[in-house]
Amino acid sequence: MMSSAPQVKACIFDMDGLLLDTEAMYTVLSNKVLAQYGKELPLETKIKMMGRNVKTATDILLADLQLPTTFEEYDSQITELKKTYFPMTMMMPGAERLIKHLAKHSIPIAVATSSNKDMFLVKTTNHGDVFALFGSNITCGDDPSVKNSKPSPDIFLTAMNRLDSSLQPADCLVFEDSVTGVQAACNAKMNSIWVHDMRFSLDPQNPPKDHNATERVTSLLEFNPAQYGLPAFDS
């Protein structure tokens, strides 16, 4: 972590793989579709897809696996599976605790997710009480204000401006699980916590660089809000 941690005023959260364990579920669903082609989703391809919007991520998969199908055909098949399975997605360790803690102390919080609005609603089906704490501060990848997807900074800057027009990028702390998301936070000139899920690491014994994140952790349970000028956990 930086020698002098920033004092932040607002927190912005990615969703997939950060708040909800959708990345593991996505791998399972992808393999269900890929089975008809006699293929599975390689970890290298999975990592490249993480943090991207649906079109970009799917195009990466189709190219890497050289699948004889179109984006529309593949997306149609996996979308039906998503509608069935994504409502069962569990929250990631430490996510609910942190969100409720920040909300309790009236710290401005927002979600900035590459998921489109319809799929956001599917994924959060059974976690409405937690996501209600964000109020209207939910920015999705298909929002008209988001002209360019991650790693462009658009979605984070949009989320910041909707939280409070007086906020500056340096006031914000972004939580991301993907390198693409961390790059987007850096491009927005915001502080960032890279929550690096080691299930999606090519070499768990030798973790990669922090990709210019302010801090790298392997779980939200490791995050200490007091180090960033935020209220300390009660226990």
CATH of the domain at 53: 1.10.150.240
Give the Å distances, CA to CA, from 173 to 1, 61, 209, 215. Answer: 13, 31, 19, 10
Same domain, 123 and 28: no
Q: Does residue 14 carry a catalytic annotation?
A: yes
Same domain, 30 and 42: yes
Specify whether the CB–CB gap between 110 and 103 falls below 8 A: no
26 part of a folded domain? yes
178 part of a folded domain? yes
More confident residue, 138 or 210: 138
Number of domains in the chain: 2
Same domain, 94 and 182: yes
Q: Which long-range contacts (CB under 8 A, 24 or more apart) does 227-234 make?
A: 227/1, 227/5, 228/5, 228/6, 228/7, 228/8, 228/173, 228/191, 229/5, 229/6, 229/7, 229/8, 230/8, 230/11, 230/102, 230/105, 230/107, 231/101, 231/102, 231/105, 231/107, 233/97, 233/101, 234/101
For the stretch 71-97, what's the b/e string if a residue is b when 16 or more beta carbons lie within 10 angstroms of its beta carbon?
A: eeebbebbbebbeebbeebebbebbbe
- Select from 63, 87, 111 the last residue of a domain: 87
Same domain, 130 and 222: yes
Same domain, 102 and 171: yes
Q: Is the pLDDT of residue 94 over 70?
A: yes
Q: Which of 14, 143, 154, 177 is catalytic?
A: 14
Same domain, 81 and 177: no
Same domain, 103 and 71: no
Same domain, 108 and 15: yes
Query: What is the distance of C-alpha 194 from the center of its chain?
Result: 10
Question: What is the residue-averaged pLDDT of the chain?
Answer: 93
More confident residue, 125 or 205: 125
The whole domain housing 154 covers 10-21+89-226
- Select from 70, 87, 104 the last residue of a domain: 87
Same domain, 137 and 40: no
**Predicted local confidence at residue 202, as pLDDT:** 79
5 part of a folded domain? no
Q: Does residue 203 carry a catalytic annotation?
A: no
The Cα angle at residue 16 between residues 175 and 31, in degrees rounded to 5: 145
What is the pLDDT confidence band of residue 209, given thresholds at 50, 70 and 90? low
**Predicted local confidence at residue 3, as pLDDT:** 44
95 part of a folded domain? yes
Same domain, 120 and 77: no
Same domain, 106 and 176: yes
Q: Which of 16, 21, 143, 154 is catalytic?
A: 16
Same domain, 102 and 75: no
Pairwise CA distance, residues 33 & 45, whole Å: 15
Dump pLDDT digits (tens) for 114-144: 999 999 999 999 999 999 999 999 999 999 9
Q: By three-state DSSP, how is residue 188 classified?
A: coil
What is the pLDDT confidence band of residue 200, given thresholds at 50, 70 and 90? confident
Least confident of 14-23, 85-94, 194-203: 194-203
Phi, psi of 105 (to 5 degrees): -95, 15
Per the document, the length of the chain is 235
Tokens read off for 51: 């943090």
235 part of a folded domain? no
Specify whether the CB–CB gap between 184 and 150 falls below 8 A: yes
231 part of a folded domain? no
147 part of a folded domain? yes
Tokens read off for 132: 């209600």
